[in-house]
Structure 1
Amino acid sequence: MATERFDVLREQVRGQVIEEGDPEYDSARRVFNGMVDRRPAAILRVSQVADVMAAVRFARGLGIDVALRGGAHSAPGFGTVEDGLVLDFSALRAVRVDPVERTAVAGAGATWADYNHATHAFGLASTGGIIGSTGVAGLTLGGGIGYLARKYGLACDNLVSADVVLADGTFVKASNAENVDLFWALRGGSGNFGVVTSFEFRLHPVDMVHVGIVLFDAALGVQVGSVYRDWLAAEPEEMGAFFGFHQGPPVPFLPEEWHGRPVAVVAGMWTGDIDAAPAHWQPIVEAGPVLGSMFAPLPYPALNIMFDELNGVPGLQGYWKADFLKALSDDALRVAVEHAPDIPTVHSANHFYPIDGAVHRVAPDGTAFPYRNVRFAPVIAGQWPDAADNARNIASVRDYWAALHEYSERGGYINFQDADDQARIAENYAANYARLSRIKAKYDPDNFFHVNQNIKPALAPTAGSAAAPAPVLAPPAQADPPEVTPMI
């Protein structure tokens, strides 16, 4: 229902402004995580960059918070905000491919399914996410782990340039030639520095791949996980596969008696010669008694959407925790096996994603993403349908994370963290945090963009004083479970 409060914004934009009382309001305010039930003052469905520039200036003048929504997959629900303005980019999903230069430009609302569909037509790809409905924007800005990371680096490592609207409403381009410090910060620093309205990526030849999914009894997780760990370390970078734990999915290649029971899984793809693939998968097939498996040559985009119906379901209650591991040790595997029976639903997952190979060939200070010396990024992604189970399942995820954290690094992957992980922000960026804080002070000194895993702007030194010191890295705080209200 239109109100005078947003009349000025309506006059300045081409996109639709939706307020409470409008027929579309309830659907427009929803995000992926059903645990997040916020009521924005308005949602702007962005139609073009000019809308973003006007909206940022308008929100600053009105003194309201702004949330940025691309794919809406943010576990903490950073794609929405209470009584603020949401910039919804779902209409900006176009992907333009230049097959000669091997680059692609994606709009801020594009998903990885959109991106891969466009690039696959030319036999090209770059590192994206594991779930097709994940947004290109959020995943890239936080780093971007995916099946192609061992071969081609993180999504942010493939970023060539970005169009950005800054906190004062001005527009700039960031690249290795323009606004170099901003470009450095965007590659892993999340949405702290501005609104990225489009992303230009470097592409690589990826067409048909050999997909493998192998399922084992979760009780054999230490045995299978140790084989996986040694196998992957010895495999060429053309092999990209994760190890994890699930409830047995209702798929035809898994016997029905294992549906809903704890299983260990190795899943991924071989991007080398298709005929050579079976030999590369053989050590995993021999890692233990196989409950079920699927191997097939498939187009790369088919793998990217393969888990969408299990782990990409919008509206489920969700709570996530994450870390980094220098090694997938037997101790870490024992913790995972111990907690595997607590995985709440078939929609939940505990994955260990490899981030070696090309990821390690970028210096820790080469981009904002600093953890270039670890080998795995574990995520504990709890998802379930009933809000009545929130307290129990949140506690279960936290218990598992606390046990695993004993063998982990101090920081974790921000794309896999929840709202109560804000206390870890300095640890997540390690030695890069102080530089990020200075860049934040340059481009967003008032911390206008703070609906995120927030990097605070560095304080300007007072006359005669030394510069503000980098924050002391303290052990992560354990916050109380968030107060949640189920989505109606």
Structure 2
Amino acid sequence: MTRAIDAIPGFTGHIVHPGGHDYDSARQVFNALVDKRPAVVLRCRSRADIVAAVRYAVGSGAEIAVRCSGHSVAGHSSTDGGILIDLSLMRGVVVDAEHRIAVVQPGATWRDIDRATARHGLACPGGVVSTTGVGGFTLGGGVGWLSRAYGLTCDNLAAAELVPANGEVLYVSAAQNEEILWGLRGGGGNFGVVAHFVLDLHPVDQVIGGIQAYDDTDAEAVLKHFRAQMNNADDQLASLVDFGTDEGSGRGLVTILSCSTRPDEIGRAAVGALAQVHGMTTEPVIALQREIAYPTWQQALDHTAPFGRLNYWKSTFLTELSDDAIRRIAVLGRTRPAPQTHVHLIRLGGVPSRVPPQATAFSTRNYPYIVHLITTWTDRADTERCKSWTDEAYETLRPLGPAGVYLNFVGDEGPLRIRASFGEATYRRLARLKARLDPDNRFALNQNVEPAADS
């Protein structure tokens, strides 16, 4: 696609071409390893703009990318030579406190949502940082601090407005287009552009947050303690283990981060128990526990995930946190290739594990843990070394889990991994829905499902 576009019927947003003063900022995505150059960026400001952009892009025959916040580590938020439909200007959030729902535009980040809902003492389950956008995160599942207590983000998707490939506007809810709602709850961006999300909210104001960091030489003891405590934890307690680097000293740290949605003695005791690690050879480097506003806690890890760094991620579910798994994770945590790289061990379970797998397109609900290799670095000269470490680290972990992966952590890992992540029955059902809404697979830059040939 080479012809410059001056106007699109019905489109009142901003059209950005290569060479324009805002082109580079418009095409920038979270992962600096991705450097794509769209032929045109269509910056939408309204539902009408989305409709016009979809109709134009589908009819053009060019590759289509959709950007909410640009957080796709695989680079799905942009395109080389195609059309980028950019929703990042649409960040409105309207809260209906009486009915405990929020109507959220697709470019909003979780910080935008938290700021609006916190005024009413409410929250929707988001991630573990506030800079992620609502769009891709919700459609890919959504695991974070509130998931164990209130479900995945996709479980809290009550309704949506979808613009599929034919350019029509579909209202999707449990009462209307129910099968499409099923697909949007974990099926990724396969079915078109979501113009707004309606999210369920829950009473969350203050939480008990805890941070306990040790020298990573004690990683095995920390992981075993984490396993023992979280095996008996209630749904209100969420926790992860982070391997990172202390910015001041350069020493490797293993940190337990925990959050209880119960700001009472029970919540304090649960978070406190996670901090009481026995058999340590070193004193804690950090030991914090306090009652804190949920949006503030949600921003605690934002500094670890800034835009503009180089990223190459891989992850796997774990079927169990065995002693062998603990040894492997500890070694990987201590041998990270760059100080900006993190290894996360996230405890799943709670409410999402009790949702029937067939109830949503997010069907991988029975695994207790995710290991996430967040390989991040700043010097392009280190790219091959960092990518090689990640590939080798993943091979170390691969025997410990299934073939599938949590979709929001997946890189460009091929169609077989995507199919395995959904599971065969869910994938076939999604493929039938894809054939109905996007039969020519015009929305292919995502965790892609091929349209069923026999629909």
Q: Matched residue pairs, number?
A: 449
For residues 267 and 331 of structure 1, what CA distance do their matches in structure 2 show? 23
Q: How do residues 328-339 of structure 1 correspond to structure 2 at under 5 angstroms?
A: 328-339=321-332
1:291 counterpart letter in structure 2: V
Deviates more, 1:347-356 or 1:115-124: 347-356
Give, in angstroms, the shift of residue 233 of structure 1: 2.1
Aligned partner of residue 151 in structure 1, secondary structure: helix
Q: What is aligned with 2:215? A: 217
Are the counterparts in 2 of residues 247 and 343 from structure 1 also a CA contact under 8 Å? no
Are the counterparts in 1 of residues 237 and 271 from structure 2 also a CA contact under 8 Å? no
Aligned partner of residue 199 in structure 1, secondary structure: strand
Q: How do residues 429-444 of structure 1 correspond to structure 2 at under 5 angstroms?
A: 429-430=422-423, 431-444=425-438
Identity of aligned residues (%): 37
Q: What is aligned with 2:63? A: 65
Q: Does 1:398 align with 2:391?
A: yes
Are the counterparts in 2 of residues 12 and 54 from structure 1 also a CA contact under 8 Å? yes
Q: Could you list the per-position Cα deviations for residues 28-58 of structure 1 after superposition, in whole angstroms to 9, with x for gaps in the alignment? A: 1111100101100011110111111111111
Unpaired stretches in structure 2, ≥5 consecutive residues: none
Q: Could you list the per-position Cα deviations for residues 146-169 of structure 1 after superposition, in whole angstroms to 9, with x for gaps in the alignment? A: 011111010000110011001111
Q: What is aligned with 1:305? A: 299
Q: What is aligned with 2:445? A: 451
For residues 369 and 416 of structure 1, what CA distance do their matches in structure 2 show? 14
Give, in angstroms, the shift of residue 376 of structure 1: 1.2
For residues 3 and 421 of structure 2, what CA distance do their matches in structure 1 show? 42
Aligned partner of residue 52 in structure 1, secondary structure: helix
Aligned partner of residue 335 in structure 1, secondary structure: helix
Q: TM-score, normalised by structure 1?
A: 0.89
1:447 counterpart letter in structure 2: N
Are the counterparts in 2 of residues 145 and 353 from structure 1 also a CA contact under 8 Å? no
Q: Does 1:260 align with 2:250?
A: yes
Give, in angstroms, the shift of residue 192 of structure 1: 0.5
For residues 115 and 78 of structure 1, what CA distance do their matches in structure 2 show? 23
Are the counterparts in 1 of residues 210 and 272 from structure 2 also a CA contact under 8 Å? no
Q: Does 1:425 align with 2:418?
A: yes
Q: Could you list the per-position Cα deviations for residues 440-488 of structure 1 after superposition, in whole angstroms to 9, with x for gaps in the alignment? A: 1111111010011111011127xxxxxxxxxxxxxxxxxxxxxxxxxxx
Which contiguous aligned blocks of 4+ residues in structure 1 show a shift greater than 3 angstroms?
A: 273-278
Are the counterparts in 2 of residues 274 and 297 from structure 1 also a CA contact under 8 Å? no
For residues 225 and 446 of structure 1, what CA distance do their matches in structure 2 show? 47
Give, in angstroms, the shift of residue 421 of structure 1: 4.2
1:143 counterpart letter in structure 2: G
Q: What is aligned with 2:81? A: 83
Give, in angstroms, the shift of residue 276 of structure 1: 3.9
For residues 61 and 99 of structure 1, what CA distance do their matches in structure 2 show? 41
Aligned partner of residue 419 in structure 2, secondary structure: helix
Q: How do residues 3-18 of structure 1 correspond to structure 2 at under 5 angstroms?
A: 5-9=4-8, 11-18=9-16
Q: What is aligned with 2:176? A: 178
Q: How do residues 113-192 of structure 1 correspond to structure 2 at under 5 angstroms?
A: 113-192=111-190
For residues 202 and 405 of structure 1, what CA distance do their matches in structure 2 show? 35
Distance 1:318 1:150, change over 3 A: same
Q: What is aligned with 2:21? A: 23
2:53 counterpart letter in structure 1: A
Q: TM-score, normalised by structure 2?
A: 0.96
Give, in angstroms, the shift of residue 220 of structure 1: 2.1
Q: What is aligned with 1:272? A: 262
Q: What is aligned with 2:380? A: 387
Unpaired stretches in structure 1, ≥5 consecutive residues: 251-255, 462-488
For residues 320 and 383 of structure 1, what CA distance do their matches in structure 2 show? 8
For residues 113 and 60 of structure 1, what CA distance do their matches in structure 2 show? 32
For residues 73 and 250 of structure 2, what CA distance do their matches in structure 1 show? 24
Are the counterparts in 1 of residues 240 and 347 from structure 2 also a CA contact under 8 Å? yes
Alpha-carbon RMSD: 1.5
Are the counterparts in 2 of residues 243 and 267 from structure 1 also a CA contact under 8 Å? yes
For residues 222 and 343 of structure 1, what CA distance do their matches in structure 2 show? 16
Q: What is aligned with 1:326? A: 319
For residues 438 and 267 of structure 2, what CA distance do their matches in structure 1 show? 49
For residues 135 and 343 of structure 1, what CA distance do their matches in structure 2 show? 27
